[in-house]
Structure 1
Amino acid sequence: MINGLTWLLGCQLVGEVLVRLTDAPVPGPVVGMVVLFVLLRVRRSGDDATVVRAAAGLLRHLQLLFVPAGVGVIVYLGTIRDHALPLVAGLVVSWALGLAVVGWTTVALERVGARR
């Protein structure tokens, strides 16, 4: 389990460093997940057991990771209330754009699959 957690945190650290060096507008943990994905795809299939065990352990306690976000919402409830309209508008627009992109991607992949 320690080995798997080391891999997970190492990939997150690599992501953070890459974001800081390149000044990319993407969160470091997201880049770290991409790095982890690439490493898992490149490595042999049997080598990922430690990472899978560590991830399963974290997923069992996933609800605890939402506590800081919930506390942040409560702490900044006044600010959120003051900016409710732009927040809701941003959520609705980003949801609609995400839905459209997923739809277009699905249609494009189905066309590619039909050609084969």
Structure 2
Amino acid sequence: MLNGYIAILGCLLAGEILVYLLALPLPGPVLGMGLALVWLTRGGEAAPAPWIAASQSLLKHLALLFVPAGTGLILHLARLQGEWLALGSAVVLGTLITLAASAWLLARQIRPRGSADD
């Protein structure tokens, strides 16, 4: 399991380094998890056992990761009250776009091979 944690943290570190060196306008951990996704999906094979063990142990404590976000919401409550319409609109619109994209991708994946649309 330690190897899994090292691999996950290595991807996060690589993302941070790339963002710093290339001055990319996105968080390093987001790029790092993108790198992990590319690494894990590169051959179509299952994820290595250390990755699975490490990720399952992290998922057991997923609720704890929401505590800082909730604290931040409470800390900036006055600002949120002033911008509730924009934030609410962004959440609703983002949810609708995500649902539409997911439905489109699912429809593409379950379409029989060799259909007229291919």
- Deviation of 1:44 after TM superposition, in Å, equals 9.7
2:89 aligns with 89
Q: Cα–Cα, structure 1 residues 80 and 110, in superposed 2: closer, same or farther, change >3 Å?
A: same
Given residue 70 of structure 2, which amino acid in structure 1 is its aligned partner?
Answer: G
Structure 1 runs of 4+ with >4 Å offset:
42-47
Given residue 105 of structure 1, which amino acid in structure 2 is its aligned partner?
Answer: L
Alignment partners' CA distance in 1, 2:59 and 2:25: 27
1:23 aligns with 23
Q: Percent identity?
A: 38
1:38 paired with 2:27, answer no
Q: Cα–Cα, structure 1 residues 53 and 82, in superposed 2: closer, same or farther, change >3 Å?
A: same
Structure 1 residues 1-116: aligned runs within 5 Å: 1-42=1-42, 48-111=48-111, 113-115=113-115
Given residue 67 of structure 2, which amino acid in structure 1 is its aligned partner?
Answer: V
Alignment partners' CA distance in 1, 2:84 and 2:46: 48
Aligned positions, number? 116
Q: TM-score, normalised by structure 2?
A: 0.79
Q: TM-score, normalised by structure 1?
A: 0.80
Give unpaired runs (5+ residues) of structure 1: none
Given residue 4 of structure 1, which amino acid in structure 2 is its aligned partner?
Answer: G
Q: Cα–Cα, structure 1 residues 3 and 110, in superposed 2: closer, same or farther, change >3 Å?
A: closer
Q: 2:113 aligns to what SS in structure 1?
A: helix
Give unpaired runs (5+ residues) of structure 2: none
Alignment partners' CA distance in 1, 2:91 and 2:51: 33
1:64-104 deviations in whole A, cap 9, x for unaligned? 11111111111111111111111111111212222222233
* Larger helix share, 1 or 2: 1
